Structure 1
Amino acid sequence: MKPLQKICVLIPVLTMAGCVSLAPDYQQPDSPVTAEWRDTKAAQQNSSAVATHKTVAAIKWQDYFQDRKLRQVINLALTNNRDLRIALLNIEQARAKYGIQEAELWPSISVSSSKTASRTPTNGSDSATISHQYEAGIGFSNYELDLFGRISSLKDEALESYLSTVETQRSTRLSLIAEVANNWLTLATNLQLQALAQQTLNSQLETLKLTQKMYSQGIASKLNLAQVQSSVETARVDVATYKAQVAQDRNALELVVGTQLKDNLLPTVKLEKTIALAPIPANLKSSVLLQRPDVLAAEHSLKGANANIGAARAAFFPTISLTASAGRSSNQLNDLFSSSNRSWSFTPSISIPIFNAGSLSASLKESKVKRDIAVADYEKTIQTAFKEVADVLAVRGSLDERLKAQKALVKANSQSYTLSNARYRNGLDSYLDALDSQRQLYSAQQALIQLQLTEYSNRVTLFKVLGGGTNT
């Protein structure tokens, strides 16, 4: 077999040499939280959801958020948001790093050619001999045999880093969806509050006209007129306040989306069935948290730290490198590729660590400590996820009752205001009674709108903390 053919056959054999891994076997840490949430049954019983085994995490966000405008706004955010764009670029960077590290498993092969010309004097005389040397060849240099898995462990670490970055991007995407939805709903809520304030102002203006007429006829006192004027200006302040808040909400939403929004994509004053509440099984297990993007990212980081221990251990063993080449060498260019001008070289080298002042031991200890830190971080991520879900379920369990009670309060205050206003218009009571009833009704209506926002936000947060569908 010719030398060049020998090298070509040797290369794939050498690349398969690294079959030994010194990394410890990976074992997933035990879950640091209980198997179930104590508020799951209460949340399920107090929601309108139908019992099913399908969890929020299995629902696509396009199905969860039913409002057409909201879905369009979320799509815009997924396209234009800068934080998500950075997360995607981080994935590309991690993928490139993994590709670089994986390439270390293979030799770098190069083709070379050269010409050397030299002038040599003859016996100190003025005459000289000019010689030429031509060379052409193919080979590889300083290729490390991965006998103890050092390069393979570093490749595994790079792979886990890449996978962790992918999950981090999914987590960023999920957070973005939830943030856009909450900002959109906040804008919708303040539009409702603005409309309520405007409605109250219109009612106060009608009352002011009536009171002015009654005052001109001597039926109402100047004090009554001043009280009505005061309530009118108070309503004007509320309208102006909510108008400014709506403008700020729109700015905040456009910042998250990453682009300006057309008016036809903004929410309307009346919101109905904006979000489909995913059913919560009564026996929802905390193991669903293991599929949350941030938990998966933490586990990939843990696996990467585990692989790094293998690389640190392999550093204690000898490093074997090879340099080999095969080609042609001749004094004449036209004879360079003749059969008699073949050349080859094969240079193995070995490096054995003998004394390094404890740096290798320190590196191994550092890699083990990093692994322990990654374990603690993984467990902390699960605990945080568990708490987030527990908090949402705790609120979820009482929301329906609170909404029912608040609606009943609005109805009662509405009846009280209708009666008080009628008695004032007929001259039976002072305006203070009607004003007090209207203020109570206004406050109850505001509280109901705010509570509806809390209910919507709770649904959004539930979708987020359970790792709802971010893949599509």
Structure 2
Amino acid sequence: MKTLKNRWAILAAMALPIAGCSLEPSYERPGPAVPGQFPVGGPYPALPVSGAQPVRYTDIFRDPRLQTIIGRALANNQNLQVALGNVRSARGQLRSARADLLPSFTGLAGASVARNRGAAQGFGGAGGGVTQIYNASAGLTAFEIDLFGRVRSTANAALNEYLATEAGVRAARLTLVGETASAYYTLATDRSLLAIAEDTVRSAQRSVELTRARLQGGIIGRTDLRQAETILQQARADRADLTAVVAQDRNALELLVGAPVTDAELPQSIETADPLLAELPAALDSRILLARPDVVQAEYTLRAANARIGAARAQFFPSISLTGLVGFASNALGSLFTNSGFTYNGGADAGVPLFDGGFNRGNLETTQAQRDIAVAQYRLTIQTAFREVSGALARRGVIAEQYAAQLALQEAAADTFRLSDARYREGIDGFLTTLDAQRTLYGARRSLALTRLVRADNLVTLYRTLGGADLVPEASIAPPDAPRGSEVLRGER
């Protein structure tokens, strides 16, 4: 039995992976190619430099109805389900690549019976010319010793691709939250515009009735009646259009949520939804962009491309594969598992690339080009993020002044319309002055509602472009500076 144990030890040692060198290029994060801080001065708000962290959507969107809708969208949205499916697919590919790091054993068992008509007595000593063979074995099939890190580089590439896909899910969730909030505020604004149109229809209808009565009394001409009808018909047309738009807004919101939305969950108006928005923290610097999910995804993609260079370089060097078989064979089932029935064999094959027609060199050039493309895409992703945040900050710096001006304009237009209408009723002014005042008020009310939407959308854009911190548990995606290779593999559950 001691000899048997020694044989098993020898074969087990042959199956262990031999640590080899890695031919992967040393990874260094590319410079972001953007300024260290966001623009200041002019339309931009004053931002003290600090390491502010991404905010949670519940800190910005404090409307309980909107929070409920966002939660349902994160659970039901079909585009997000596609992204989650991609994560499961990448996880499977990672496990397949990781499996190549370990030997694969296969167990076999069999029995055969043969009759030799020309033999006087069988090999087994029973049944005349009948031969019986029983066997049970375990084999090691072509396990590659990773001398030059090809298998490990391939596994590292698969790991980074998996992490990039997980970061992509976070990016999809961030986009979904932004689109859902934007659709919510768009619906609220269109409901406000519809209410303004309905209010204007009622006001214009009263003006038409008054003008018609004065026309019948011979006080005014027919022109005043026609002028009064213009604002009425315009408001009626807007009301019909906005009725359809509100229905379309609701359909768009339900598509994002992935389920019907009840009337109780819908905003009544932008005037009721807008006050439930909170301001973003004022202290920001551009380093926050490195945590944005699409930037994280781009860096993991770059790391994967860097690892594939190591695998391509290893193709130029020899490869060694181990094979082995241990088991038992006997012509009698009862004596199968005995020392006399033990059998084993092992071997090693070495392959050296002699001539491949330039395949390996072309493969290396391809992987190097893909790495260069990934570097450019990583930098472009950061530059795009910087532009998006800078543009949103430029709007944020002036939106308060714009809103105050629109509010003052509506108040002035409302007062002008009241005075003009009173003067027309007293016969002091013609209806044209009242008509102009009513049109100005109608436009001012619409502009104020749309300015509220711009303010809400600006905060949605800032939240989305700065990157949310609450969409994926922190432990589910390793940060870009996390330990690589086997340390990450061992740490994954």
- Secondary structure of 2:143's partner? strand
Q: What's the counterpart of residue 142 of structure 1? A: 142
Residue 6 of structure 1: how far off its partner (Å): 4.2
CA contact (8 A) 1:318 1:350 kept: yes
Residues 51 and 285 in structure 2, CA contact (< 8 A), matched pair in contact too: no
2:353 partner letter: P
SS at match of 1:58: coil
Instruction: Specify the alignment match of 1:370 in structure 2.
Output: 370
In 1, Cα distance between equivalents of 2:6 and 2:428: 113
Query: What is the total number of aligned residue pairs between the two structures?
Result: 464
Q: What amino acid is the match of 2:112?
A: T
CA contact (8 A) 2:17 2:103 kept: no
Larger displacement relative to structure 2 (105-114 or 180-189) = 105-114
Give the aligned partner of residue 277 of structure 2: 275
CA distance in 1, matches of 2:191, 2:12: 70
Shift in CA distance, 439/12, structure 1 to aligned 2, threshold 3 Å: farther
Deviation string 1:362-415 (CA, Å, 9 cap, x unpaired) is 111111111111111111111111111111111111111111111111121112
> Is 2:257 aligned against 1:257?
yes
Contact 1:18–1:152 (Cα < 8 Å) also in 2:
no
Question: Is the 1:187–1:250 Cα contact (8 Å) retained in structure 2?
Answer: yes
- Mapping 1:52-201, distance limit 5 Å: 55=52, 57-122=53-118, 129-201=129-201
| Separation (CA, whole Å) in 2 of partners of 1:179 and 1:12 | 57
Q: What amino acid maps onto 1:237 in structure 2?
A: A
Code of the aligned partner of 1:79 = A
More divergent stretch after superposition (415-424 vs 155-164): 415-424
Q: What residue identity is the alignment partner of 1:66?
A: R
Match of 1:392 in 2: 392
Aligned partner of 2:479 in structure 1 is none
Report deviation, 1:41: 8.5
> In the alignment, what sits opposite 2:340?
340
| Structure 1 residue 11 displacement after superposition | 3.6
The residue type equivalent to 1:320 in the other structure is: I
From the superposition, tell whether residues 70 and 113 of structure 1 become closer, same or farther in structure 2 (CA, over 3 Å): same
The residue number in structure 1 matching 2:24 is 23
Q: Secondary structure at the match of 2:45?
A: helix
1:58 Cα offset (Å): 2.8
Larger CA deviation: 319-328 vs 227-236 = 227-236
What is the CA–CA distance in structure 2 between the aligned matches of 1:299 and 1:78, rounded to whole Å? 25
Q: 2: distance between equivalents of 1:5 and 1:92? A: 43
- Structure 1 distance, partners of 2:85, 2:397, is 40
More off after superposition, 209-218 vs 322-331: 209-218
Q: How far apart, CA to CA, are the structure 1 residues paired with 2:369 and 2:5?
A: 47
Matches of 2:355 and 2:333, distance apart in 1: 50
Distance in 2 between the 1:66 and 1:408 partners? 27
- Identify the residue that residue 228 of structure 1 maps to in structure 2: 228
Contact 1:3–1:344 (Cα < 8 Å) also in 2: no
Aligned equivalent of 1:312: 312
210-219 vs 88-97, which moves further = 210-219
Give the distance between the partners of 1:151 and 1:10, measured in 2 at CA. 21
- With over 3 angstroms needed to count, the CA separation of the structure-2 counterparts of 1:52 and 1:149, relative to structure 1, is closer
Q: Deviations over 1:212-261 (max 9, x none)?
A: 33233332333222322332222211111111111111111111221111
**Larger CA deviation: 271-280 vs 377-386:** 271-280
Deviation by residue 1:433-459 (Cα, 9 ceiling, x = unmatched): 101011011111111111111111011
- In 1: Cα distance, 2:298 partner to 2:197 partner: 48
Local SS of the residue matching 2:174 = helix
Q: Do the aligned partners of 2:76 and 2:258 also contact (CA within 8 Å) in 1?
A: yes
Give the residue type in structure 2 aligned to 1:37.
Answer: F
Shift of 1:274: 3.0
Residue type of the alignment partner of 1:358: G
Gap change, CA 1:297 and 1:2, over 3 Å in 2: farther
Query: How far apart, in 2, do the equivalents of 1:10 and 1:314 lie?
Result: 26
Q: 1:388 to 1:11 in 2, by over 3 A?
A: farther
For the pair 1:327 / 2:327, whether they are aligned, the reply is yes
Q: Is the 8 A contact 1:66 1:273 kept in 2?
A: no
In 2: Cα distance, 1:238 partner to 1:252 partner: 20
Q: CA deviation at 1:123?
A: 7.0
Q: In 2 relative to 1, CA 456–123 (structure 1 residues): closer, same or farther, beyond 3 Å?
A: closer
Q: Shift of the alpha carbon at 1:2? A: 4.1
Task: Show structure 2 runs of 5+ residues with no match.
Answer: 122-126, 474-493
Q: Cα deviations across residues 161-189 of structure 1 (Å, max 9, x unaligned)?
A: 00000011110110010001111111100
CA contact (8 A) 1:157 1:308 kept: yes
Q: Distance in 1 between matches of 2:341 and 2:429?
A: 121
Which position in structure 1 is the counterpart of 2:293? 293
Question: 1: distance between equivalents of 2:333 and 2:169?
Answer: 58
Q: CA deviation at 1:111?
A: 1.5
Query: What is the CA deviation profile of residues 146-171 of structure 1, one whole-angstrom value per residue up to 9, with x for unaligned ones?
Result: 12111111000000000000011110
- Shift, 1:43, TM fit: 3.9
Name the CA distance, whole Å, in 2 between partners of 1:162 and 1:451: 42
AA in 1 matched with 2:441: L
SS in 1 for 2:390: helix
Shift of 1:64: 1.6
- Scaled by the length of structure 1, the TM-score of the pair is 0.93
Contact 1:141–1:323 (Cα < 8 Å) also in 2: yes
| Shift of residue 297, structure 1, vs aligned partner | 0.5
Query: Contact 1:44 / 1:279 at 8 angstroms: preserved in 2?
Result: no
Tell me, yes or no, if the aligned pair for 1:3 and 1:326 is still in contact at 8 Å.
Answer: no
- Aligned Cα root-mean-square deviation (Å): 2.2
For the 8 Å contact 2:24–2:153, the answer to whether it is kept is yes
Contact 1:39 1:393 in 2 (8 A): no
Correspondence for 2:472:
471
Aligned-pair identity (%): 37
Q: Is the 8 A contact 1:4 1:327 kept in 2?
A: no
Query: Offset at 1:292?
Result: 0.6
Give the C-alpha shift of residue 208 in structure 1.
Answer: 2.2
- Per the normalisation by structure 2, the TM-score is 0.89
Q: Tell me whether 386-395 or 222-231 shows the greater mean CA deviation.
A: 222-231
Q: Structure 1 residues 97 and 123, CA, compared in 2 at 3 Å: closer, same or farther?
A: closer
Contact conserved, 1:120 with 1:130, CA < 8 A, in 2?
yes
Give every structure 1 segment of 4 or more consecutive aligned residues whose post-TM-superposition deviation is greater than 6 Å: none
Alpha-carbon shift at residue 430 of structure 1 (Å): 0.8
Does residue 414 of the first structure (1) align with residue 410 of the second (2)?
no
